[in-house]
Chains A and B, each alone.
Chain A
């Protein structure tokens, strides 16, 4: 059974059709990429899957259950987490607190319990802190735990956001252009990190412009153009798909195919 199934989704903004007849599946344990030129509808697709936008028609199924029309927080609780194209940390909070917010959906103390420190609440608070710290260590930011998130460098923000998303305990992780703005070394680290996350049993769906990263990482690729899927399959097949080559003007794909990353 597919972990995520997008069925015939359509979304338009005014007269502009951003997505149309989009259907695909993500299977457990996969790293799947969605690629396409600017304006192809990739981020719109992510926003619909994670509940930030509503689709005009079509449905999204997660673990066999329809999540169409659910609020983002309900989708997060179901086990689907995401990062944003522009890292959207809570800039006035500390880095550790940001990741602690990620534990929200897996913990339960409410207004009364928190203000009165009911039995169990202090323990839960400690468990939130230690889990968040472990996630920060995983992305190599433990030494910056107590620093305001607003003072992090761009690449560090991406990593902190990744830690926060992982702290929600997802089964499926949506990464919106995780490599953009990173330098070559950071990109290579990112690739390893994403693979390690997958090896921990978390399925990954990512949008990415960097073809080296995409071809290197993905098991399966979906290509969107003007909101419509034009190809889907493993990297090798997609690279040689005439439709895809035409959309990308031939250049980039031939280049990648001719000289694979050492």
Chain B
């Protein structure tokens, strides 16, 4: 009983904080803030995935913005594109029978036939799975930071592609993405009437990944990833298929980014090319670093907090610069993230405050 309690306590705490935030915002009549908080939570899923790749497996990805965009754009394109000209064809009829194609009205009241959000989600995941393998397989068979180079190039290509293609709406991106009925009476949608519901959907998704990643990092797989991070050669000699584990961790985190992208796109009813930009990818890296890398809770708190402030416009036109400064500061001042040294410092202060003068003296003597 007791260990089980200890195990679930953090999650109960997070749930309490999530509910507390919502109730507080309602009481303060600031419930509109939930919109940015919801978006920040979706971004946090990307950063949690990066934490697995960077903090545990020790590989740097500079392309997670691109995976977010691949998820979002796949959903956006498929759910907004009108396939009604193909109505008469046998394959369109078949897809309609299979509920992959659905008829609906677009923003202007025209009847359109497009891919259902669930089917688009599955396709987005499959596409991401494939692309992540194509990028990761060659880069991760080598030792060293080849993944950073490969993903940086990949991100730039994706950015140029969504910016240059009419299918993805070029510089305007795609809007008018329909709501996504998840089932169980839940809908991912930006309607203000569904704001609270969507906040909890995002919380639920974050909690889902927290539980899964928490289990993962405290298991055989998590130890293998940390071993690879520490000493790849020794890890291999101890029986770990290092290339395969690095690849699996990378693909999993790419899938997390793409999944966040799909939810985000349905929530905001659209997606633009800036989501695929290199600056977004670097921002995710900065947030993972600021959260302490191999620290899921730290990454969640720091990432949600800073992205929320950014989305509220607090950093104004210095938005990207702020995250750049954070990254530089972390790397040069606190490579393990600021939370650990901060925690130690607070504990030291607290310890000093609660110590009696008699206990304090010898410490001063040695110092």
Name A residues whose Cβ lies closer than 8 Å to a Cβ of B: 50-52, 71-73, 76-77, 81-82, 84, 88-93, 97, 100-107, 109-111, 114-117, 121, 124-125, 128, 164-165, 168
Query: Are A73 and B227 within 8 A (Cβ)?
Result: no
17 chain-A/chain-B pairs, Cβ below 8 angstroms: A52-B233, A81-B237, A90-B227, A90-B234, A91-B230, A92-B229, A93-B223, A93-B226, A93-B230, A97-B226, A100-B223, A103-B220, A111-B216, A114-B220, A114-B221, A116-B212, A168-B238
A227 to B248, CA, bound (A): 40
A101 to B215, CA, bound (A): 16
Minimum CB–CB distance from B134 to chain A (whole Å) comes to: 19
Beyond known contacts A72-B237, A88-B233: 4 more, CB 8 A cutoff = A89-B231, A92-B229, A104-B223, A115-B221
Q: Label chain A's interface by main secondary structure.
A: helix
A84 to B231, CA, bound (A): 12
Residues of the A chain whose Cβ atoms lie less than 8 Å from the Cβ of B240: 73, 101, 104-105
A144 to B45, CA, bound (A): 36
A101 to B222, CA, bound (A): 10
A216 to B347, CA, bound (A): 53
Residues of the B chain whose Cβ atoms lie less than 8 Å from the Cβ of A115: 212-213, 215-216, 219, 221
Q: Label chain B's interface by main secondary structure.
A: helix
Minimum CB–CB distance from A221 to chain B (whole Å) comes to: 25
Query: Are A109 and B231 within 8 A (Cβ)?
Result: no
Residues of the B chain whose Cβ atoms lie less than 8 Å from the Cβ of A91: 230-231
Residues of the B chain whose Cβ atoms lie less than 8 Å from the Cβ of A121: 219
Residues of the B chain whose Cβ atoms lie less than 8 Å from the Cβ of A106: 239
Query: Are A88 and B234 within 8 A (Cβ)?
Result: yes
Residue of B213, B216, B235 near A101 (CB, 8 A) is B235
Residue of B219, B222, B231, B237 with most chain A CB atoms under a 10 A cut-off? B237
A101 to B231, CA, bound (A): 12
Minimum CB–CB distance from A249 to chain B (whole Å) comes to: 35
Query: Are A105 and B215 within 8 A (Cβ)?
Result: no
Query: Are B237 and A90 within 8 A (Cβ)?
Result: no
* Residue B87 at the chain A interface, CB threshold 8 Å: no
Query: Are A114 and B215 within 8 A (Cβ)?
Result: yes
Query: Are A164 and B238 within 8 A (Cβ)?
Result: yes
Residues of the B chain whose Cβ atoms lie less than 8 Å from the Cβ of A101: 223-224, 227, 235, 238, 240
A116 to B234, CA, bound (A): 28
* Residue B242 at the chain A interface, CB threshold 8 Å: yes
Minimum CB–CB distance from A212 to chain B (whole Å) comes to: 28
Minimum CB–CB distance from B280 to chain A (whole Å) comes to: 26
Output the nearest chain A residue to B294 by Cβ-Cβ distance.
Answer: A92
Given known A73-B240, A115-B215, contact A104–B234 (CB-CB < 8 A): no
A50 to B233, CA, bound (A): 11
Residue of B212, B221, B236 near A71 (CB, 8 A) is B236
Residue of A88, A115, A117 with most chain B CB atoms under a 10 A cut-off? A115
* Residue B252 at the chain A interface, CB threshold 8 Å: yes
* Residue B165 at the chain A interface, CB threshold 8 Å: no
Minimum CB–CB distance from B54 to chain A (whole Å) comes to: 14
Residues of the B chain whose Cβ atoms lie less than 8 Å from the Cβ of A124: 220
Residues of the A chain whose Cβ atoms lie less than 8 Å from the Cβ of B227: 90, 93, 101
Query: Are A97 and B237 within 8 A (Cβ)?
Result: no
Residues of the B chain whose Cβ atoms lie less than 8 Å from the Cβ of A168: 238-239
Residues of the A chain whose Cβ atoms lie less than 8 Å from the Cβ of B215: 114-117
Output the nearest chain A residue to B213 by Cβ-Cβ distance.
Answer: A115
Residue of B213, B229, B238 near A102 (CB, 8 A) is B238
Residues of the B chain whose Cβ atoms lie less than 8 Å from the Cβ of A104: 220, 223-224, 238-240
Contacts of B236-265 to chain A: CB distance below 8 A: 236-242, 248, 252
Minimum CB–CB distance from B59 to chain A (whole Å) comes to: 15
A102 to B224, CA, bound (A): 10
A164 to B242, CA, bound (A): 17
Residue of A76, A89, A92, A110 near B237 (CB, 8 A) is A76
